Structure 1
């Protein structure tokens, strides 16, 4: 009789390795910069896993470290899930699985947007304000329980999310990449990429505001004498709301594809914004 039970994949990383990654992950924002955001923190967190799975292969270790210095940015707590999945992918790659650089990078990029969309509203938008409100209400009555409730509550939530997210990401990631032959990893990569692009597109519309206050036409109401101005921004909004923000996004994408440094793009937007406000072109 042939058994159909699939054996659990052998894992190279121990709890001690995961604990080392966990403590390193607390420094994720320690070297935050506007060019690659959390990239250095991500690379620093993955070091124990990379040294373990590529033990003795200095060239492979160097290539992996360089691979994880690429742009990365998401909610720092739920980022532990990405650490675990990435470590699992690096482990299976070291074992000979056909996992390329692009696959690892695409999974990371694809997960950034959705996880930020989950972490920000849950932790920053709900848990922190609720715990702060409860703590403040108790503190107003002179109770020491108020600040303790906020401090302990938010840190228990942080530690649990980071640790169990890391373990879940590694365990599920190991099982996921061992099934690469069945095409599951490719499907998940595509789904993550689509979701990430969808979320980033929504964020562009929500958080990017460009206003052109220049008056194109003025019409006076003969009965009331009120003058109604038609601005360039009103015309653009009639064509497509958020058209300027979308155009700016495509311009930045084009410049990045031309290998223009992200810092120069950011500085350029600062200069254009200041000059635009000074001349009245932007408002």
Structure 2
């Protein structure tokens, strides 16, 4: 059966982009993660190229229903690459139907590292620290700032990523998995750790009220700690939260409840 020789229109590309963007998290499952979102995203492409070819239509949806997981915003780069490849397959210019699946499997790991470092390691903590400062005294400006700023930046990243992926096609793979890309990922990881450390020291207010004997007098333990290791108590709290999440695999809600309980008990017995 003859393939449709027309390229994807801007409307069809926009449909693929928006479907993936809105469905990656809302249609997620632990069995396939973003797999259902991928299949749903490519229905417009399937309708264009395989409307009269049920078997090819089925193969397209099947190959994009497999397990897939990466950072959603930067992951639009892979979506753009795959859209370009599937377009060529639909037009009959490319015969290897496994290539899009191979590309997804090869790139979801590196992009997850880059995306998580940028979005979760740098952008979110930085914006939240600014928002918390604006929220002092109960102002609604803080959450509004965070929502609007994050939405603007994240949307820009997704649009640029998708367009870049579609434009470069399979040629983007070498750029993403190169040594330079790995060095950039490591750089962002390091920068993210520095940002989180700095924000922890400046935004977490935790001090002990305990006193210790100092000759014939007593001295606040907090003053001694400040002279030896400023910010050590906030650091301990952050490390405790990290241990609970990363090692004990507790949910964020449980961690918040545990930290609240620790602080409450500490206040009641005059530790804090």
TM over 0.5: yes
Q: Secondary structure of the equivalent of 1:12?
A: coil
- Give the alignment of 1:180-195 within 5 angstroms: none
Number of the residue aligned with 2:8: 13
CA contact (8 A) 1:50 1:61 kept: yes
Which of 22, 41, 60 pairs up with 2:17?
A: 22
Whole-angstrom CA distance in 1 between matches of 2:177 and 2:115: 18
TM-score (norm 2): 0.58
Verify: 1:78 aligned to 2:74, yes or no. yes
Whole-angstrom CA distance in 2 between matches of 1:159 and 1:190: 25
Number of the residue aligned with 1:137: 133
Whole-angstrom CA distance in 2 between matches of 1:190 and 1:127: 26
- Give the alignment of 1:186-265 within 5 angstroms: none
Number of the residue aligned with 2:112: 116
CA contact (8 A) 2:78 2:107 kept: yes
Relative distance call for 1:57 and 1:148 in structure 2 (3 A) is same
Q: Secondary structure of the equivalent of 2:42?
A: helix
Whole-angstrom CA distance in 2 between matches of 1:127 and 1:140: 21
CA deviation string 1:69-116 (max 9, x = no partner)? 111110011121111111111111122224413322111111101110
Number of the residue aligned with 1:152: 148
CA contact (8 A) 1:78 1:162 kept: yes
Could you list the runs of 5+ residues in structure 2 that have no partner in the other structure?
187-272
Whole-angstrom CA distance in 2 between matches of 1:84 and 1:11: 17
CA contact (8 A) 2:76 2:158 kept: yes
CA deviation string 1:160-184 (max 9, x = no partner)? 12222222212222xx5xxxxxxxx
Verify: 1:64 aligned to 2:60, yes or no. yes
Deviation at 1:193, TM superposition (A): 7.5
Whole-angstrom CA distance in 2 between matches of 1:51 and 1:194: 35
Could you list the runs of 5+ residues in structure 1 that have no partner in the other structure?
1-9, 177-184, 203-283
31-40 vs 65-74, which deviates more? Answer: 31-40
Whole-angstrom CA distance in 1 between matches of 2:32 and 2:90: 26
Whole-angstrom CA distance in 2 between matches of 1:49 and 1:166: 16
Whole-angstrom CA distance in 1 between matches of 2:123 and 2:51: 41
Q: Structure 1 runs of 4+ off > 4 angstroms?
A: 188-195
Deviation at 1:37, TM superposition (A): 1.6
Which of 17, 30, 34 pairs up with 1:34?
A: 30
Whole-angstrom CA distance in 2 between matches of 1:33 and 1:135: 31
Relative distance call for 1:191 and 1:149 in structure 2 (3 A) is closer
User: What is the alpha-carbon root mean square deviation over aligned residues?
Assistant: 2.7
Deviation at 1:55, TM superposition (A): 4.0
